[in-house]
Amino acid sequence: MRVLGVCLNWKVVGALAVAALAVLVLAPGLSASVLPVLLVLACPLSMVFMMRGMGSAGSHTVRAPATVAEAERDATIARLEAEVVALRAERFAPAPSAPVPEQWLPSELTLPT
């Protein structure tokens, strides 16, 4: 629903209209203070419902590749990501201790042969 260049969710507009009607019927004295609040709430509530409807509210689904090129690209990305993990594991693995040259040892110690 597009009114005055602003996108509004029709469910939110309907719920706010019901709330406004309830206020007008049940407490007409409060309508002057409640109706502006309902108008202000229309925009953020519409945004929340539209985001949820588009799937941007945190649920990310993996879609199947549409073409062979996309499948090859996805396979290449997976292979490269695995290679990055392996390289990081190799780089940050503890280094093996290097052998100590005999000239650095005290004279009373000898290396086993």
Asked if the structure places residue 85 within a domain, the reply is no
Q: What is the pLDDT of residues 53-82, one digit of tens each?
A: 776 545 556 666 678 888 888 899 999 999
> If you write DSSP's letter for every residue of 91-109 in order, what string do you get?
HTSPPPPPPPPGGGS-TT-
**Mean pLDDT throughout 37-63?**
71
Judge whether 65 and 71 are in contact, CB under 8 Å. Answer: yes
pLDDT of residue 32: 83
Number of structural domains in the chain: 1
Most confident of 11-15, 35-39, 44-48, 71-75: 71-75
Domain of 35 in residue numbering reads as: 2-54
Does residue 43 register a pLDDT over 60? yes
Asked if the structure places residue 92 within a domain, the reply is no
Asked if the structure places residue 112 within a domain, the reply is no
Phi and psi at 52, nearest 5°, equal -65, -40
Asked if the structure places residue 26 within a domain, the reply is yes
Token digits for 79? 């292979």
Judge whether 42 and 12 are in contact, CB under 8 Å. Answer: yes
